[in-house]
Structure 1
């Protein structure tokens, strides 16, 4: 196994084992509901470093990479990650995140504001937002939490999962205690390398503590959808690798076939196909071994 492959395997193992116990922050009464003020929770663990939000102008001045939000990946969401209650709308999103840098997080937040939110159909927004221009239909709050596996200082990633530590942080964006609910979901599901955002459009009526249930539920729905998507991506990659090995075993001198995209793949079908492909490859390898002088 090559060094990059070993590091990827160690990172995968570390990701699977990085699941700290859920937070016990109590539910609090409505506080600051409906007012927008981006703040930052300075109690993040385990890094203990305060991360401030990054505006697009700050990002443009500090980043050497392209500042075009349209070049960033689209976040994943799903119908279950949207809740409407008394004209307030909550939507959960998940971006992949492999570095906890403020530059990257700021860029993804700008992508959400400038690209994703303007594309939402107006019928999915509270009435008071429906007659605004696309650039003025942004959410009232974009609270978020992230959790990322990072190499420990002086480590290479080749010595196993202990080479990695967890960095995490969160921002309420004025919806006090909202980000803690998102972080709790991330921990409960044992997820890492993710930025989970819950956008809220405030509809003018205070919801009280039930809003925390909405934040939790849309964050969980979005993250479960993302984790299922990532699991299928991994299965698809495994199937394509087996297809290449089978093609070589059958015709060593032939050009490799174009990879099958496996459209419409489900978890059950992927498992069946992986078992079938593995058996086929083993049979071809045994046959080749018997034919060798």
Structure 2
């Protein structure tokens, strides 16, 4: 059994379906239909397994004529642990035309242009019986670009939420420290301790602008509280 099929069997043992990070709008042209999906994939083997999953599970009732794919994965070099930094990793990329010559490389170029990493993009095409000529590549690139941009926003939101969580921790600790330096000389009570952290789990990529504004507000608040702490210590 090949590695991707083995990985696919592992996916199928999980009762939950494998959901893409994003799915593009359909493009229909003279009977043909094009649609792209992007999945997380940290290794080429995982990428190929996602292709198999889409072909054999998601599209099992209506097989696509082509499942064109490309992947870019940052993987550990042999014998490395990742503790020594970026030099422990290497980029592995590849593509599959699945019978649509040159199409896979066009998806890969789209991923490269948007600096997409640890993902696989799959553009499914259902052939409608009429040859489309070069325009088919434009459709493939348009679908791929759409999901790549959505993936990029999703990753940016994750980074923003991680940053927010860190800033929330810092701000809570500073506020507790400020309370402990209250002017009346009373020590901070347990009620003055770190407050409950905000829940960002419901945020979507559309909330990215809001996340950036909140980050700026948290950073400003941290500067303000630090100044207040310094002032009380001086007093």
1:202, 1:242 → 2: CA distance? 51
Deviation at 1:248, TM superposition (A): 2.8
Give 1:250's match in structure 2, choosing from 166, 175, 181. 175
State whether structure 2 residue 218 is matched by structure 1 residue 282.
no
Relative contact order (C-alpha < 8 Å, sep 6+): which is higher? 1
Structure 1: runs of 5+ lacking an equivalent = 1-51, 118-134
2:47, 2:218 → 1: CA distance? 40
Partner of 2:36: 92
Deviation at 1:148, TM superposition (A): 0.7
**1:148–1:192 contact (8 Å) kept in structure 2:** yes
Give 2:4's match in structure 1, choosing from 54, 61, 67. 54
List aligned pairs for 1:28-39, cutoff 5 A: none
2:77, 2:103 → 1: CA distance? 29
**1:142–1:173 contact (8 Å) kept in structure 2:** yes
CA offsets per residue over residues 213-268 of structure 1, 9 Å max, x none? Answer: 11111111110111011112211221222123222322364355143226365333
Higher radius of gyration, 1 or 2: 2
1:70, 1:226 → 2: CA distance? 25
Judging by fraction of residues, say which structure has more helix.
Answer: 2
Give 2:208's match in structure 1, choosing from 247, 267, 274. 267
**2:70–2:95 contact (8 Å) kept in structure 1:** yes
Deviation at 1:292, TM superposition (A): 4.4
Structure 2: runs of 5+ lacking an equivalent = 178-189
Deviation at 1:270, TM superposition (A): 2.4
Residue correspondences, number: 217
